[in-house]
Amino acid sequence: MSLDVSPPHFEDRVRALLAKGDTDALHRLVRKVSTAEIEEAFEFLDTEECQLILDILDTETAAEVLGGVDEHIQEDLTDALSERKLADLVEEMDSDEAADTVRLLEDDEQERVLDLLEDETEEEVRTLLQHEEDTAGDLMMVELAAIHEQALVAEAIEMLRENADDIKRLYNVYVVDSERRLKGELPLRDMVLARPGMPLQAVMSATEAWATPGMDQEEVANLFRKYDLVSLPVIDGDDKLVGRITVDDVLDVMEEEASEDLSRLAGLGSEDSFHALGIFRLSRERLPWLILGLGGGLVSGRILQGFETSLSTVLELAFFVPVIMALAGNIGIQSSTIIVRGLATGEVKGDAPWPRIRREILVSIFNGAVIGMLTFGVVWFWLQSLPLALLISSTMMLVVLWATLTGTVIPMVFTRFGIDPAYATGPFVTTTNDIVALTIYLAIAWRFRHILV
Amino acid sequence: MSLDVSPPHFEDRVRALLAKGDTDALHRLVRKVSTAEIEEAFEFLDTEECQLILDILDTETAAEVLGGVDEHIQEDLTDALSERKLADLVEEMDSDEAADTVRLLEDDEQERVLDLLEDETEEEVRTLLQHEEDTAGDLMMVELAAIHEQALVAEAIEMLRENADDIKRLYNVYVVDSERRLKGELPLRDMVLARPGMPLQAVMSATEAWATPGMDQEEVANLFRKYDLVSLPVIDGDDKLVGRITVDDVLDVMEEEASEDLSRLAGLGSEDSFHALGIFRLSRERLPWLILGLGGGLVSGRILQGFETSLSTVLELAFFVPVIMALAGNIGIQSSTIIVRGLATGEVKGDAPWPRIRREILVSIFNGAVIGMLTFGVVWFWLQSLPLALLISSTMMLVVLWATLTGTVIPMVFTRFGIDPAYATGPFVTTTNDIVALTIYLAIAWRFRHILV
């Protein structure tokens, strides 16, 4: 990554002008930059400053900005804006963003804003609001070009000229029958290249991939990657076209899912933690995982206390507590991350995970052997005790194997029970492994205490 | 995620037909499925099976499949295929995939395959090969539609009809002057909607974002997300259009970068670890991080030995080694992940990281206080020793603060020195924090040993 050494960031210039009270210059500045710049700056400005900028912008641009910023900023802004203003902005948005924005409101405010919308918009948004969050129905917009299969290319182009003015990000025409059932699609490129007198059904391509409204957004993203799509049709149970998802939303989904995975692996709580939330909100997200770690650590301590006699007789045993815990943690995270990531990208199949699990175990046996031999050498050289070296190194091998097993199996079990397997990575696996590894270690030491002394 | 319970996977059907030796049925099956299905199946088939399928497919489809599969499969296949066959396939690929494929070959084989290509293709590929991996130049293809700014819309459409037949994924026309300098762009949608008699320069939009060939692929992906792009022009130092990047490649880049971050956080080595590599290759990727953990753990053990006297006098001190290490590790990972992720998505600015770092420290002071109080309560209740409870809980607060500091500062330092900050997450931060936390703990215990006994 390169460091940004460009002229002052837009948000700094906004702040400077606000401080000077120079609203004219602010007007000029805000109108000169693209909506993408404004959206980015909103990350760094406070709600009042953002609201001021929304007021300066024309309604269409303001709607685009409000629809495009991150959810946590949207939330603050929808709280701050009047219902009238909010309804005006929602009216101008693409249907998917309109629904996402209204969804953020409290139930009664939602109703009031919906009532302020034009009838057609209101109906669209109400329909979209029925879909669950993070599904294809939540991502889709209803604005699309659907043309009858018997129309000629020239007619289709004429229809687009007349009706497509408010369809942004139009890359394909969907070809449908009289019942609006999806028959195929025609990329604009092919439409431009096709002979104008051909009927659409003769020049269209078969639709390789489609979604249903209930499909999980992660699966939607995988379809885009697998089929190299820019837009995906959404059909209902009768094959009727109900909407489409565009790739710009998928880029955001991938970013969100990646953040979510990282966030769970690192024990950060929600993926929102990456944004500029307040201190207390951030603490609240992270504390549960820290307390889990704290609890696990204290349980480990209690286990150590249980083996107090062994420890006070052979104090050397305590020296290896850190290394056994470090390895159990690292190995568990390695294996669980492999499985969780594979499940997310579809490379590990939920119904056929065994090849991947078997591979993890083989890798672990090999790594366990290497780790075991290294440990044996170091401990023998360090403490000059063959029994201790044997004990520590064989425990290490067992711990490696055990940590791999929990790391691979826990995410699979979570998946079976419909829990996001990403929760199984990070603090959860580490804590479990710490406790079990320590118990294995001390139990073996206890069993062979007569040769250690 | 839903479990896939569909009919047998394509790769299983391929294997069954191979076992029966029924090549006719195999031909029929392979021709019936889409290239995306075949690409996916290649993940699960061995090189020989993949090669057999490539032979059955027509050259164009085979080229698309070979260009579309993951790099590690491409690598095996380019090794297995004859140079003649390889050249035939490369000839059919888009220029970006052609260059990526040739790049995988050994230097001398590269030369021989390049010589087998047609002159025009050879030149294109040689030019693309000069760009560094993981840059815009590596991602871009040279196939694009560039039309002079004075051409009329109708003329532009005519030009596309005549010349765009082999330009896949065409979403925009780039508008250039006589020197091929980029002046603007026209989405096909706007082209279809525009009046045919207008000159391009009157209907084009300003280009909001562009790349130079040396730009890092992560930055390219951030541009796509920020500006909601489907295609990004690449220009050289004289503003001349040299290629374009399409969003399908960006989806792959995002997947790759997300895997890479996860991979480094989990100490898995390269992002390839998520794929079906051999056992020894996987071991080799992971062992360095395990050995780092092993080394760190043994150093911690050596530190414990250094405080042997304190430990043998107050054995209870040993009980808290696990909890202190667990917290130091968890906190370090939380903070470093926040910073590394923020740097990757551009939300933490390399030249202005202080707001984010300050926030981490505030969160950490708050979390430290909570953790400290909890610990105080538990330890007092458990061991009935006020001095021990005071010692452990105050150490805990120091450890939380210290772990946050290393977690936030190390990635920033790595960035300053041009090292990928993702290396600072995971095993590296955990190991450092383990050692330092243990030292802080035992040093404090030693200092106050007179009140503990």
Which ranges in chain A are annotated with CATH 1.25.60.10?
10-134
Q: How confident is the model at residue A2 (pLDDT cuts 50, 70, 90)?
A: very low
pTM for the complete prediction?
0.86
Candidates A216, A262, A324; nearest CB to B2: A216
Contacts of B350 in chain A (CB under 8 A): 1-4
pLDDT digits (tens, 9 = 90+) for A86-135: 999 999 999 999 999 999 999 999 999 999 999 999 999 999 999 999 99
The A residues from 337 to 376 touching B (CB cutoff 8 Å) are 337-338, 341-345, 347, 349-352, 359, 362-363, 366-367, 370-371, 374-375
Which class is B10-134 in CATH? mainly alpha
Tally of CA atoms within 13 A in the half-sphere of A162 that contains its CB:
7
Mutation to test the B interface, candidates A97, A229, A274, A303, most B Cβ within 10 Å: A274
pLDDT at position A348, please?
A: 77
CA distances from B430 to A395, B200, B297, B301, B414 (A): 22, 58, 10, 15, 16
Map residue B231 onto helix, strand or coil.
strand
CATH architecture, domain A146-257: Roll (3.10)
Other CB atoms within 10 A of residue A32 CB: 9
Which among B299, B437, B326 has a CA at the least distance from the CA of A330? B326
DSSP B165: G
Which class is B271-452 in CATH? mainly alpha
CA distance B219 to chain A (A): 7
Query: Is the Cβ pair A4, B351 closer than 8 Å?
Result: yes
pLDDT digits (tens, 9 = 90+) for A172-213: 999 999 999 999 999 999 999 999 999 999 999 999 999 999
| Residue B61 token pair | 């489809």
Exposed / middle / buried, residue B109 (Cβ in 10 Å: 0-12, 13-18, 19+): middle
Map residue B246 onto helix, strand or coil.
strand
Burial B257-266 (b: 16+ CB within 10 A, else e): bbbbbbbbbb
Residue matched to tokens 């969780």 = A340
CA distance B412 to chain A (A): 11
Which among A31, A26, A72, A32 has a CA at the least distance from the CA of A49? A26
| Residue A441 token pair | 């270690």
Contacts of B276 in chain A (CB under 8 A): 359
pLDDT digits (tens, 9 = 90+) for A28-73: 888 888 899 999 889 888 899 999 999 989 999 999 999 999 888 9
Mutation to test the A interface, candidates B1, B5, B358, B442, most A Cβ within 10 Å: B1
Which ranges in chain B are annotated with CATH 3.10.580.10?
146-257
What does the radius of gyration of chain B's CA atoms come to, in whole angstroms? Answer: 29
CA distances from A427 to A62, A289, A297 (A): 42, 6, 11
Scanning B81-135, the segments in alpha helix (DSSP H) are 83-92, 95-103, 107-116, 119-129
Return phi, psi of residue A148, to 5°.
-65, 140
Residue type at position B323:
V
Nearest CA in chain B to A256: B258
Map residue B232 onto helix, strand or coil.
strand
d(CA A63, CA A66): 5
pLDDT (tens place) for every residue of chain B, 453 residues total: 334 444 567 888 888 888 888 888 888 888 888 899 999 889 888 899 999 999 989 999 999 999 999 888 999 999 999 999 999 999 999 999 999 999 999 999 999 999 999 999 999 999 999 999 999 999 999 999 999 999 999 999 999 999 888 898 999 999 999 999 999 999 999 999 999 999 999 999 999 999 999 999 999 999 999 999 999 999 999 999 999 999 999 999 998 888 888 888 888 876 666 665 678 888 888 888 889 889 999 999 999 999 998 888 888 899 999 999 889 988 988 888 888 888 877 777 767 778 778 888 899 999 999 999 999 999 999 989 899 899 999 999 999 999 999 888 888 888 888 887 877 677 888 888 999 999 999 999 888 888 876
Q: How confident is the model at residue A4 (pLDDT cuts 50, 70, 90)?
A: very low
Nearest CA in chain A to B249: A228
Which ranges in chain A are annotated with CATH 1.10.357.20?
271-452
Contacts of A345 in chain B (CB under 8 A): 255, 259, 274
Query: Is the Cβ pair B315, A323 closer than 8 Å?
Result: no
d(CA A326, CA A320): 10
Map residue B143 onto helix, strand or coil.
coil
Return phi, psi of residue B265, to 5°.
-60, -40
Mutation to test the B interface, candidates A155, A282, A375, most B Cβ within 10 Å: A282
d(CA B212, CA B234): 5
pLDDT at position A378, please?
A: 93
Contacts of B266 in chain A (CB under 8 A): 265, 333-334, 337-338, 425
Candidates A305, A319, A375; nearest CB to B294: A375
3-state per-residue secondary structure call for chain A: CCCCCCCCCHHHHHHHHHHHCCHHHHHHHHHHCCHHHHHHHHCCCCHHHHHHHHHHCCHHHHHHHHHHCCHHHHHHHHHHCCHHHHHHHHHHCCHHHHHHHHHCCCHHHHHHHHHHCCHHHHHHHHHHHCCCCCEHHHHCECCCCEEECCCEHHHHHHHHHHHHHHCCCCCEEEEECCCCEEEEEEEHHHHHHCCCCCEHHHHCECCCCCECCCCEHHHHHHHHHHHCCCEEEEECCCCEEEEEEEHHHHHHHHHHHHHHHHHHHCCCCCHHHHCCCCHHHHHHHHHHHHHHHHHHHHHHHHHHHHCHHHHHHCCHHHHCHHHHHHHHHHHHHHHHHHHHHHHHHCCCECCECHHHHHHHHHHHHHHHHHHHHHHHHHHHHHHCCHHHHHHHHHHHHHHHHHHHHHHHHHHHHHHHCCCCHHHHCCHHHHHHHHHHHHHHHHHHHHHCHHHHC
DSSP B147: E
Contacts of B359 in chain A (CB under 8 A): 276, 279, 282
d(CA A323, CA A399): 11
Share of chain A above pLDDT 70, in %: 96
Q: By the 8 A CB rule, do B206 and B197 touch?
A: no
Other CB atoms within 10 A of residue A14 CB: 23
Query: Is the Cβ pair A268, B228 closer than 8 Å?
Result: no
d(CA B210, CA B315): 64
